[in-house]
Structure 1
Amino acid sequence: MERHKQAVSEISAAVKGFFDRKEPYRIFHGSTNSTRPFRRDRYVDISALNNVIEVDKARRVALVEPNVPMDRLVESTLRHGLIPPIVMEFPGITTGGGYAGTAGESSSFRHGFFDDTINEVEMVLANGDVVTARPEGPRADLFRAAAGAVGTLGITTLIEIRLIEAKRFVRTTYHRTNSVKEAIDRVHAETLRPENDYVDGILFSKDHGVIITGSLTDEKPPDNAKPQTFSGAWDPWYYLHVRDRTKSLPSSSTSPDAPSPVDYIPLAEYLFRYDRGGFWVAASGFDYFRLVPFTRFFRWLLDDLLHTRMLYRALHGSGESAHFFVQDLALPYANAEKFIDFAADKTGIWPLWLCPLQQTLPPTFHPHTGEPAEETAAGSSGTGDSANPNPENAASSTRGPRGKPMLNIGLWGWGPKDPDVFVATNRAVEAKLTELGGMKWLYAHVYQSEDDFWRAYGGRAWYDALRAKYGAESLPTVYDKVHIDGDARTNELKQARQAFKSRWPVGGLWGIWKAIRSRDYRLHRDAQWKYKEGKELLPEEK
Structure 2
Amino acid sequence: MPHDAAISRIATAVKVFYSRKEPYRIFHGSTNSTRPKQQQSFVDISALSNVVKIDPTAKTATVEPNVPMDKLVEATLQHGLIPPVVMEFPGITVGGGYAGSAGESSSFKYGYFDQTVNSVEMVLANGDVVTASKTERPDLFKGAAGALGTLGITTLIELQLIQAKKFVKIEYHRRSTVCDSIEKLQQEIKDPSNDYVDGIIYSKDHGVIITGQLTDEMPEEVNPQTFSKPWDPWFYLHVKDKTISDTSSHVTEYIPLAEYLFRYDRGGFWVGIEAFRYFPFVPFNKFTRWFLDDFIHTRMLYRAMHGSRKEFGNIVQDLSLPYSTAEQFIDYTAEELDIWPLWLCPLREMTPPTFHPYTTLPGPSEDVKPMLNIGLWGRASEDLDTFVSQNRRLESKLTELGGRKVLYSHTYYTEPEFWSLYDKSWYDKLREKYSASSLLTVYDKVKVDVKKAKETRVNLGWSERWRGMWPFAGLLGILGAIRSKDYLLHRNAAWRYGGPEKKTLKES
2:28 matches 1:29 = yes
TM-aligned CA distance change 1:534 to 1:436, over 3 Å:
closer
The answer to whether residue 273 in structure 2 is matched with residue 283 in structure 1 is yes
What is the identity, as a one-letter code, of the residue corresponding to 1:440? Answer: K
Matching residue's letter, 1:467: R
Shift in alpha-carbon separation, 1:290–1:246, aligned structure 2, 3 A: same
The 1:531/1:496 distance shift into structure 2, 3 A limit, reads farther
SS of match in other structure, 1:144: helix
| Contact kept in structure 1, 2:312 and 2:382, CA below 8 Å | no
Letter in 1 for 2:311: S
Q: CA deviation at 1:226?
A: 1.7
In structure 2, what is the equivalent of residue 86 of structure 1?
Answer: 85
Residue identity opposite 2:164 in structure 1: A
Equivalent residue, structure 1, for 2:291: 301
Describe the SS at the equivalent of 1:322.
coil
Match status 1:186 vs 2:184: yes
The one-letter amino acid of 1:195's match is: S
1:62–1:187 distance in 2 versus 1, CA, 3 Å: same
The 3-state SS of whatever aligns with 1:244 is helix
Q: Which stretch shifts more, 83-92 or 410-419?
A: 410-419
Contact 1:331 1:438 survives alignment (8 Å):
yes
Q: Is the 8 A contact 1:423 1:490 kept in 2?
A: no
Q: In structure 1, what is the Cα distance between the partners aligned to 2:78 and 2:227?
A: 21
Say yes or no: does 1:428 pair with 2:426.
Answer: no
Match of 1:332 among 313, 318, 322: 322
Mapped to 1, the partners of 2:304 and 2:360 lie a distance apart of 38
Residues 322 and 361, structure 2, Cα contact 8 Å, conserved in 1: no
2:418 is matched by which residue type in structure 1? F
Question: Contact (CA 8 Å) 2:24, 2:440: kept in 1 or not?
Answer: no
- How many angstroms does 1:90 deviate by? 0.3
For the 8 Å contact 2:12–2:127, the answer to whether it is kept is yes
The residue aligned with 2:154 is 156
Q: Which residue number in structure 2 is paired with residue 18 of structure 1? A: 17
Kindly indicate whether the alpha-carbon contact (under 8 Å) linking 2:89 and 2:265 is maintained by their aligned counterparts in 1. yes
**Aligned partners of 2:404 and 2:453: how far apart in 1?**
22
Q: 1:491 to 1:434 in 2, by over 3 A?
A: farther
Find out whether 1:471 has 2:435 as its counterpart: yes
Equivalent residue number for residue 462 of structure 1: 426
- Separation in structure 2 between the aligned mates of residue 75 and residue 406 of structure 1, nearest angstrom: 31
What is the deviation of 1:250? 1.5
Tell me the residue number matched to 1:416. 381
Q: Conserved in 1, the CA contact under 8 Å of 2:119 and 2:157?
A: yes
Contact 2:229 2:495 in 1 (8 A): no
Q: 1:470 to 1:413 in 2, by over 3 A?
A: same
User: Structure 1: how far apart are the matches of 2:460 and 2:378?
Assistant: 19
What residue is the counterpart of 2:56 in the other structure? 57
Indicate the SS of the match to 1:153.
coil
Letter in structure 2 aligned against 1:60: K
Q: 2: CA distance between counterparts of 1:371 and 1:119?
A: 30
2:205 maps to 1:239: no
- Paired letter, 2:5: Q
CA distance in 2, matches of 1:336, 1:230: 30
Counterpart check, 1:250 vs 2:260: no
CA contact (8 A) 2:351 2:368 kept: yes
* Corresponding position of 2:193: 195
Give 1:500 shift. Answer: 1.1
Find the aligned partners of 1:319 and 1:456 in 2 and give their Cα distance: 30
CA contact (8 A) 1:496 1:502 kept: no
Mapping for residues 65-80 of structure 1, pairs under 5 Å = 65-80=64-79
Q: Does structure 1 retain, via aligned residues, the 8 Å contact 2:257–2:499?
A: no
Matches for 1:195-234 after TM superposition, within 5 Å:
195-220=193-218, 222-234=219-231
The CA deviation at 1:225 is 2.1
1:310/1:212 Cα in 2 relative to 1: closer, same or farther (>3 Å)? same
Contact 1:445 1:482 in 2 (8 A): yes
Compute the displacement of 1:495 (Å). 6.6
Count of residues in correspondence between the two structures: 495
Would the alpha carbon gap of residues 213 and 493 (structure 1) be closer, same or farther in structure 2, given more than 3 Å must change? farther
SS in 2 for 1:119: strand
Distance 1:123 1:438 in 2: 31
Counterpart-to-counterpart distance in 2, 1:206 and 1:492: 40
Residue identity opposite 1:69 in structure 2: P
Aligned position for 2:347: 357
Post-superposition shift, 1:530? 2.5
The CA deviation at 1:223 is 3.6
Q: Which moved more, 1:17-26 or 1:183-192?
A: 17-26
TM-score (norm 1): 0.88
For 2:346, give the aligned amino acid.
P
Q: Paired residue for 1:506?
A: 472
2: CA distance between counterparts of 1:284 and 1:116? Answer: 34
> Is 1:404 matched up with 2:356?
no
Q: Confirm or deny that 1:527 pairs with 2:493.
A: yes
- Name the CA distance, whole Å, in 1 between partners of 2:456 and 2:99: 28
Q: Render the CA deviation track for 1:277-308: whole Å, top value 9, x for unaligned.
A: 00000101111100000000000000000000
Runs of 5+ unmatched residues, structure 2: none
Secondary structure at the counterpart of residue 402 of structure 2: coil
* Residues 79 and 500 in structure 2, CA contact (< 8 A), matched pair in contact too: no
Distance, in Å, in 2 between the alignment partners of 1:246 and 1:280 is 17
Query: Could you say which residue in structure 1 is the equivalent of 2:114?
Result: 115
Task: Give the distance between the partners of 2:458 and 2:166, measured in 1 at CA.
Answer: 51
Alpha-carbon contact 1:361-1:370 (below 8 Å) kept: no
Distance (Å, rounded) in 2 between the aligned partners of 1:496 and 1:433: 35
Q: Give the fraction of aligned pairs with identical amino acids, expressed as a percent.
A: 60
Q: CA deviation at 1:231?
A: 0.3
TM-superposition CA deviations, 1:423-471 (whole Å, max 9, x none): 000000000000000000000121111111111114x111101100000
Which 5+ residue runs of structure 1 have no aligned equivalent? Answer: 252-257, 373-401
Change (3 A) 1:105 1:494: farther
Q: Which residue of 1 aligns with 2:262?
A: 272
Describe the SS at the equivalent of 1:520: helix
In 1, Cα distance between equivalents of 2:191 and 2:389: 41
Distance across 2 between alignment mates of 1:478 and 1:182: 37
Shift of 1:485: 3.5
Once residues 130 and 60 of structure 2 are traced to their aligned partners in structure 1, the CA distance between those partners, rounded to angstroms, is 20
Aligned to 1:115, the other structure's residue is in SS state: helix
Shift of 1:37: 6.0
Structure 2 match to 1:103: 102
- 1-structure distance, mates of 2:345, 2:415: 28
- In the alignment, the residues of structure 2 paired with residue 235 and residue 495 of structure 1 have an alpha-carbon distance, to the nearest angstrom, of 45
